A and B are shown apart, each in its own frame.
Chain A
Amino acid sequence: MPQYEAGTFDVIVVGAGHAGAEAALASARMGAKTLVLTMNLDMIAFMPCNPSIGGPAKGIVVREIDALGGAMGRVIDKTHIQMRMLNTAKGPAVRALRAQADKVLYQQEMKRLMEEEPNLTLHQGIAEELVVEDGKIQGLITQVGGIYRANSVVITTGTFLRGEIIIGDLRYSSGPNNQQPSIKLAENLEKLGFETVRFKTGTPPRVNSNSIDYSKTEIQPGDDVPRAFSYETTEYITDQLPCWLTYTNEQTHQVIDDNLHLSPMYSGMIKGTGPRYCPSIEDKVVRFNDKPRHQIFLEPEGRNTREVYVQGLSTSLPEHVQRKLLESIPGLEKAEMMRAGYAIEYDSIVPTQLWPTLESKRIENLYTAGQINGTSGYEEAAGQGLMAGINAAAKVLGKEEVILSRSDAYIGVLIDDLVTKGTNEPYRLLTSRAEYRLLLRHDNADIRLTELAYAIGMVKEERYVKFLAKKERIEEEIKRLRGIMIKPNETTQQVIRDAGGSELKDGIRGADLLKRPEMTYEMISQLTPSTVELEDEVKEQVEIHIKYEGYIEKSLQQVDKLKKMENKKIPDNIDYHAISGIATEARGKLAEVRPLSIAQASRISGVNPADISILLVYIEQGKIAKISV
């Protein structure tokens, strides 16, 4: 294949899925001349699995992406068919928004955003070989011989690397949804020395809505209140489509039992590690065989299609068995299967080979993001893509690298987990992974991240000014409620009685009254209205802040400790093998992960407090030279 010089860019992003799209947009927005290269321009931001975005932890990531100037929140706000706030009966820390997407509209909207972004070039092509010189990326070569030169490259190939689809005993080389797999690039990465593992994920069959008997299912409508992910959204979609709930039964489970020998999961054909939190239906039935039924959600894939996603029925059983499974489920007895479910195996790189900026330790200026790093989920991919894009551009433009702490964002938790601990299954964010989840809420993503986003150029002046004004109103109102005395007059007592609380004996400060479990901001503002009109978002912040002050304070103290440890930096050129006191296992792990700070070092499994102490002694002394004989 003759080669030709196809162009020079600051940053090239390979892949335009959820990671690639964010990476490309972020890089361009940061001011870097960016190329995004994708196998198929019609597959930008494609959702090969469930047609939904958000949910616990993930929904908060979408908010964070938005606060940092990313696209996912804005796009889903324009293209969803339904939105729901989850966990509303629980505390504010675990509330999360989830949207059902119109898959096609989502793709179109993302593509349009990318096309309109200055500094961003879209091109259809397949990256086959990375050009590396002296351990630094120089660009890449495509399948048609185009040589693209760049200072930084971000690889976001999802499940395409040596992808293989498996249904029953059929196995063939393929990307998701029968797209081309990426084989040459996988071989190239291997040649460059990247350590990879084989992961597996799966998807359920899709059926035609017209063939579903919805009368046998339960309706799952969206919220009546208009909702949005993005802080910029002002127009809300009110015309929502419902989802539907049905269940498997003994007959379904019998079908699985009878055909288990045909399952590639159990025949040993699938070797890749699948995610525990998203098991196939055969896995659920085998592992929890005492459960009489499992939930099945029927989720429309969009407004202009009748295709319905059968959430909960992920499977790699042969197609004829999948038909029997559908037939056994109430409402789906006559369902027309439009596409069969399948499992997909793929290469992902061991993420401890990355710095917390998502830059590869092996090849300078090469970044990876998304499923290639061992995660699963659109939101996890998008969060990484955003950060990789920001950092790739920052490096080219000579700006400072951006690393989110575990106390800044779920995205920080995600990336830190990946690069510090690695993962032995496709990684999904869970609320329990965040130790400061009370601080990492859905409602305060802008307060946590706008400052940073503005400083690095991801958020424009106008939005920043608006944000500052909001922040000031929140602070002013908190201050006001802390100062103002509420008298125990009849109006006050009535409001308290109505809320089911016990009457006041003396005057009380507004903030203290709000701290009572039965009181809300609205009630307090009846007694002592703010002099200025406050928007709901401000009121919510005031209420959460005052009500949970004690808990927030406690979390902040823990964060203080974390920050102290994060500020103890480990020099890049440290030679762990020269430090005699550190245990052998810990030494190996430290040398592999090469943590940037003592905080990160202490999170590596196998590194114990004594090792950290010794490391501290060593570093503080400022002598990297060998101490021991």
Chain B
Amino acid sequence: MEFDTIAAISTPSGEGAIAIVRLSGPEAVAIADKLFRAASKKALAAQPTHTIHYGHLEDPATAEVVEEVMVSLMKAPKTFTREDVIEINCHGGIVSVNRVLELALRAGARLAEPGEFTKRAFLNGRIDLSQAEAVMDLIRAKTDRAMDVALNQMEGKLSKLIGTLRQALLESIAQMEVNIDYPEYDDVEEMTRPIMLEKSKWVRSEIDKLLQTSSQGKILREGLSTVILGRPNVGKSSLLNSLVQENKAIVTEIAGTTRDIIEEYVNVRGVPLRLVDTAGIRETEDIVERIGVERSRKVLKEADLILYVLNYSEALTPEDELLFETVKDMDYIVVINKTDLPQKIDLEQVQKLAGDKLLVTTSLIEEEGIDQLEEAIAALFFQGEIEAGDMTYVSNVRHIALLHQAHKTISDAIEAAEMEVPVDMIQIDVTRTWEILGEIIGDTADDGLLNQLFSQFCLGK
């Protein structure tokens, strides 16, 4: 039988040390070759079957190295599905394995349906008839489970948001259809390219946001990357220690001297943090220190949250102000430490520099102010635009893949609208987007459009 190429994570979800993404189908090897850079420099297509290869996965869009992997190459027919099969062994952890799967999907594979590998094995004669019923049960069970998940998601904020996007698209589509099917109907505004363009752009930006939260799935899985920043000797290490002592450390110290980066994993009121202490960020001649500083800058750039520590008993220095400048577009909390000592800092000036960011005063030595800081962190996280619940949803690979597809189709619509393509053609991609978004929340009922049409407009001729 002729099939397309499918991909899926074939190891149980969870935090295994190794995870496997499996591809099966006529394009499996070609897709893998688009992503995989073997240490041997040889393409998989040129390798003998049933061999394992070490190398890296590269994102073809950015040429960025994504993962260090082992790839098993198994050519048809002596494989599980009797098709060409590629198994990419990557680091466990939902984020990295999702990333690998996403790459495979973007390179042309289709996300496998529940039980589809087994189904193919069966259809290609790999499994005999006596196992047929087992296969059917498997498909049924997996689908039911997937549907349970879908049902849960119906309650979620994601489904609400997707619902809103779909409704907005549907209204435009319905309006367009009325324009087409009832051209003389004078009561409905003519759907024009600018309106279509504006709406499409809005939908795309919302999809963008969702896709961003999908990359922020790492916040929950790996912890919110939190950098403790400040001049030397303001109490950065004390803050780190306080947070660690106060909270159960998940992973202990990874590496470092005082001049290097120290990472600690803690859970602050339900928010997992990956705490990073940095060596002071300032110009230095000291080589060892400079290496520390360079790495610090990089860490800073990638941070989700910054705890910026100031000294209560010292006046603000130009260096402090420079640091304010450095973090100005980032999420940060100002921690003014050492309230046990006499005040020399100008709090008004600090507030001015910090703008609408939160200020917390602490005396880490006296163990004061830690609670307030933790509350501030939690508040910032939970009251922000992103809620914890949502993020698990959008970390669902199927959803990410569909969102990418929706992003592609709505981008096509936007491009067409800008190219002055007729509106009814632009609508083809808009409608497709609407359908794809429907797949995310499991709503594929196709009478939705007609219902909308007839409830929204009073139609005659």
Contacts and interface: CB of A to CB of B under 8 A. Distances in A.
Interface string A365-402: 00000000000000000000000000000000000000
A613 B180 contact: no
Given A276-B454, A438-B428, A614-B139, A90 B423 contact: yes
Interface string A585-629: 000000000000000000001001110011011101101000111
A554 B460 CA distance: 33
Contacts of B114: 610
Nearest to B144: A610
A613 B139 contact: yes
A87 B184 CA distance: 9
A620 B459 contact: no
A517 interface: yes
B17 interface: no
Interface stretch (A111-119, A287-295, A348-356): A287-295
Nearest to A311: B461
Given A581-B139, A613-B115, A621-B129, A277 B454 contact: yes
Q: Is the interface of A mostly helix, strand, loop or mixed?
A: loop
Interface string B279-323: 000000000000000000000000000000000000000000000
Contact of B1 (A297, A580, A620, A627): A620
Interface string A507-548: 000000000011000000000000000000000000000001
A617 B458 contact: no
Interface stretch (B85-93, B154-162, B414-422): B414-422
Nearest to A56: B181
Given A94-B180, A551-B425, A581-B136, A279 B459 contact: yes
B424 A616 contact: no
Contacts of B453: 430, 432
B450 A617 contact: no
A347 B364 CA distance: 85
A86 interface: yes
A86 B185 CA distance: 12
A90 B184 contact: no
B450 A295 contact: no
A56 B460 contact: no
Given A291-B458, A431-B177, A581-B137, A93 B183 contact: no
B129 A613 contact: no
Contacts of A620: 1, 123
A85 to B, nearest CB: 10
A598 to B, nearest CB: 12
Interface in A395-452: 430-432, 438
A268 interface: no
Contacts of B177: 430-432
Contacts of A14: none
A278 interface: yes
Contacts of A623: 129, 132
Contacts of A617: 119, 122-123, 132, 135-136, 139
A273 B409 CA distance: 38
A57 interface: yes
Contacts of A93: 424-425
Interface residues of B, number: 47
B50 interface: no
B113 A609 contact: yes
Contacts of A581: 133, 136-137, 139-140
A370 B125 CA distance: 46
B401 to A, nearest CB: 16
Contacts of B449: 432
A295 B460 contact: yes
Contact of B458 (A87, A294, A548): A294
B458 A90 contact: no
Nearest to B173: A432
Nearest to A57: B181
Given A295-B184, A431-B181, A613 B119 contact: yes
B154 to A, nearest CB: 16
Contact of B422 (A91, A288, A297): A91
B123 A56 contact: no
Nearest to B142: A610
Nearest to B132: A627
B123 A311 contact: no
Contact of B428 (A55, A276, A551): A551
Interface in B115-174: 115-116, 119, 122-123, 129, 132-133, 135-137, 139-140, 143, 173
Number of contact residues on A: which range applies? 35 or more
A181 interface: no
Contact of B183 (A56, A609, A610): A56
A284 interface: yes
B187 A291 contact: yes
A51 interface: no
A69 interface: no
A222 B234 CA distance: 85
A627 B128 CA distance: 12
B339 interface: no
B186 interface: yes
A312 interface: yes
A441 to B, nearest CB: 11
Q: Which of B113, B114, B139 has the most chain A CB atoms closer than 10 A to its own CB?
A: B139
B458 A91 contact: no
B181 A580 contact: no
B237 interface: no
B179 interface: yes
A91 B461 contact: no
A295 B461 contact: yes
Contacts of B179: 90
Contact of A295 (B129, B135, B186): B186
A466 B143 CA distance: 54
A277 B459 contact: yes
Contact of A311 (B1, B135, B139, B460): B460
Interface in A288-330: 288, 291, 294-295, 297, 311-312
A295 to B, nearest CB: 6
Interface in B419-459: 419-425, 428, 445-446, 449-450, 453-454, 458-459
Contacts of A548: 425
A441 B297 CA distance: 60
Query: Which 4 residue pairs are nearest across A and B when measured between Cβ atoms?
Result: A91-B422, A581-B136, A610-B143, A288-B458
Given A430-B453, A617-B122, A620-B123, 18 more contacts: A56-B182, A91-B424, A287-B458, A295-B186, A311-B460, A432-B177, A432-B449, A432-B453, A517-B419, A555-B428, A579-B136, A580-B133, A581-B140, A613-B115, A613-B119, A627-B129, A628-B133, A629-B133
6 contacts: A87-B183, A90-B179, A430-B453, A555-B428, A580-B136, A621-B132
